[in-house]
Amino acid sequence: MASTVTGRVDDGAPPPLRRAPARDGDDRSPRLLPVAVLLLAVAFTSSAATFWWSERSSDPGAADIGFYDDMTAHHVQALEMARIYLRGGDDAVLQHIAWEIAFTQSGDIRMMQQALTDWGEPGSADVAMDWMGMPVAPDAQPGMAAENEMAELERARGRDLDDLFTRLMIDHHAGGVHMASAAADMARLGEVRTLARAMAAGQRAEIGELNSIRQRLGLPRHEPAL
């Protein structure tokens, strides 16, 4: 299981869906309908997390504990990716999606960490996915960006940043779907299984939206390895 780390949101409100400065030959008009659908999925996931946090049980199994611990580490990297884009990106829709990722996944982290605390389970800094029967180092979980990829994301600007951010986030979400789908089947607690299903559905929807944005930006569709 991965080390437990908490996250927070830097800004208290999402950036407005405004038209960003266009580059030559670039139609950057926000696709408001897909974004609205995405925001509904995000709102559902956040609401599910809040509800099931309040209903959690005190008798978790290895999958319940492992999923919350490993997904915390997974979410922490997604927060960092989102914050990098918020600092350096200039596409209005991607800015809004990055803010939503930071907001929603920060809430998930707080909920999962509180549950682990209540269960008396500190988590592990040495191994992840042991509960899935496929133990790996925490930074080798499916979908996790490598250190050099995160450094490249920090340096990128303009269309290069749009391209790299969407590719890395699609891969990251695919890894999250892989883990959440396993937890939906393996977790002992019904509330953990329900939250895992909500996370998987939300991240699948966001993969589709990110690929729609790539198409708008003239970038090829990105298919994750998982």
How much is the average pLDDT of 104-109? 96
CATH class of 45-216: mainly alpha
Q: Copy the structure tokens of residue 10.
A: 């830097």
Q: At how many degrees (to 10) do helices 92-119 and 190-216 cross?
A: 160
Asked whether 94 and 203 are in contact (CB, 8 A), the reply is no
Q: In the predicted model, is pLDDT for residue 29 greater than 80?
A: no
pTM: 0.77
Please give the pLDDT value at position 123.
79
Summarised one tens digit per residue, pLDDT across range 122-144 is 878 889 999 999 999 999 999 99
Summarised one tens digit per residue, pLDDT across range 80-100 is 999 999 999 999 999 999 999
Stronger pLDDT, 46 or 137, i.e. the higher one: 137
How much is the average pLDDT of 140-164? 97
How much is the average pLDDT of 173-179? 97
How much is the average pLDDT of 180-203? 97
Q: How far apart are CA 84 and CA 222, in angstroms?
A: 20
Q: How far apart are CA 212 and CA 206, in angstroms?
A: 10
Please give the pLDDT value at position 200.
97
- Using DSSP's 3-state secondary structure scheme, residue 212 falls into helix
Q: Share the mean pLDDT of the chain.
A: 83
How much is the average pLDDT of 148-152? 98
Asked whether 143 and 171 are in contact (CB, 8 A), the reply is yes
Domain boundaries, the chain: 45-216
Q: How far apart are CA 92 and CA 37, in angstroms?
A: 16
Burial degree of 21 (CB within 10 A; 0-12, 13-18, 19+): exposed
The DSSP string of 111-149 is HHHHHHHHHT----SS-BSGGGT--B-GGGSTTPPPHHH
Q: Indicate the pLDDT class of residue 57, thresholds 50, 70 and 90.
A: low
Please give the pLDDT value at position 28.
43
Please give the pLDDT value at position 58.
73
In order of 68, 95, 119, the CA distances from 175 in angstroms are: 14, 22, 26
